[in-house]
């Protein structure tokens, strides 16, 4: 399962990085379309304006005082400044930058040097003019070809990016869908497993004959109460003369007796505490939040109710099935283990048996007090 989650995580991570890279490159390309193309277009307009000087000076010598060329030298400075912006814009695109630096930058430098010469001496011979014109034509040709190559490159990249974007989105969506489906499957698997675990736990903690908890169930409840430092009352009891009951009426009737008594225990313990069958005819009840006096009343009520079931027992002096009860208080936190308190409740139970059975005895402050049994009804 860990490997599966790792693969899914790696798939999501890979697709996320791919998607992020695609978005970043798409933004860069959009930036070039919005920034670089206008800069290139501006440079070409400036170049065309400078080339337009041909109409005014072809083959003529101008007077040194003539200012006709001065504004156009300024345009050359603008081209230079624009070149700096272009260089900055293509900084993240090495191929474009390399082509621009090796092809156009030298032409721009030569052209600017020529403009500097002209600004010092605006009088041109025909040969000088044609030299200048040739330099401008070369620049314009290279500039136009570079512009076209940039546009083609951007168009190709834009197409690839759109296709890659669709693929990336689809892959990312599929990854999410697979992960979501796997997550749902894991939830279903976990719930089913948990239900099975809970069912097995109930089976493991359940006494099959009576439906009450078993000793393992009792120990788990005690462990939780100790962990919470929760005081509780412990009631131990067993059925009086149960061996003789089995000998007289048979084990089938004995099982029936256990089931009927367990049903009464469940009814009394509902929403009040936990009950368990901890031996053949021995039972235990835990009552959280009960005081000693309250637990004693509870025990007496239980004893009376079981006697009132009127399950015939000819061997018993009471002629009906009865129980003997021992009660003690458990007050965590304590250095003593639960076995210590279980032994105290067992001593109280033994006291009830020793003094005539069908009684409730309470272990209180290192002494056992025995309650007078009620008369059978």
Instruction: Tell me the catalytic residues.
Output: 281
Contact criterion met (CB below 8 Å) for 366 and 344: no
Sheet with 360-364: list strands edge to edge. Answer: 274-277, 282-288, 232-239, 323-330, 360-364, 367-370
The three-state secondary structure class of 208 is coil
Closest CA to 111 of 82, 151, 147: 82
> How far is the C-alpha of 318 from the C-alpha of 323, rounded, in Å?
11
Burial code of 36-56, b = ≥16 C-beta within 10 A, e = fewer? beebbeebeebbeebbebeee
Residues, the chain: 377
Query: What are the Cα distances from residue 166, in Å, to 33, 159, 162?
Result: 20, 11, 6
Provide the 8-state DSSP code for 291: -
Burial code of 265-300, b = ≥16 C-beta within 10 A, e = fewer? beebbeeebbbbbbeebbbbbbbbebeeeebbebbb
């Amino acid at each position: 399962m860990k490997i599966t989650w790792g693969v899914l995580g790696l798939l999501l991570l890979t697709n996320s990085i791919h998607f992020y890279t695609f978005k970043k490159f798409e933004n860069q390309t959009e930036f070039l379309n919005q920034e670089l193309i206008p800069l290139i277009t501006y440079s070409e307009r400036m170049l065309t304006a400078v080339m337009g000087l041909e109409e005014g000076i072809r083959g003529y010598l101008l007077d040194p005082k003539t200012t006709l060329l001065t504004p156009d030298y300024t345009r050359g400075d603008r081209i230079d400044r624009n070149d700096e912006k272009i260089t900055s814009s293509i900084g993240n695109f090495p191929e474009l930058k390399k082509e621009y630096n090796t092809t156009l930058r030298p032409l721009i430098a030569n052209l600017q040097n020529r403009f500097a010469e002209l600004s010092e001496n605006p009088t041109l011979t025909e040969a000088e003019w044609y030299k200048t014109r040739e330099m401008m034509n070369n620049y314009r040709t290279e500039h136009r070809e570079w512009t076209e190559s940039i546009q083609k490159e951007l168009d190709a990249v834009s197409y690839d990016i759109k296709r890659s974007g669709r693929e990336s989105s689809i892959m990312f969506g599929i990854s999410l869908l697979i992960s979501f489906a796997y997550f749902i499957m894991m939830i279903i698997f976990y719930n089913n497993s948990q239900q099975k675990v809970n069912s097995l736990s109930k089976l493991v903690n359940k006494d099959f004959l009576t439906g009450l908890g078993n000793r393992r169930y009792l120990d788990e409840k005690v462990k939780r109460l100790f962990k919470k430092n929760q005081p509780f009352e412990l009631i131990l009891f067993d059925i009086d003369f149960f061996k003789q009951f089995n000998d007289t009426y048979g084990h089938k009737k004995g099982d029936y007796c256990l089931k009927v008594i367990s049903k009464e225990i469940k009814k009394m313990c509902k929403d009040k505490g936990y009950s368990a069958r901890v031996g053949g005819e021995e039972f235990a009840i835990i009552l959280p939040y009960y005081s000693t006096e309250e637990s004693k009343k509870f025990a007496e009520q239980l004893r009376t109710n079981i006697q009132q079931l009127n399950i015939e027992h000819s061997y018993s002096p009471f002629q009906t099935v009865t129980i003997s009860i021992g009660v003690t208080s458990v007050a965590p936190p304590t250095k003593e283990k639960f076995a210590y308190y279980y032994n105290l409740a067992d001593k109280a139970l033994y006291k009830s048996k020793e003094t005539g059975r069908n009684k409730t005895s309470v272990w209180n402050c290192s002494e056992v007090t025995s309650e007078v049994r009620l008369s059978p009804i």
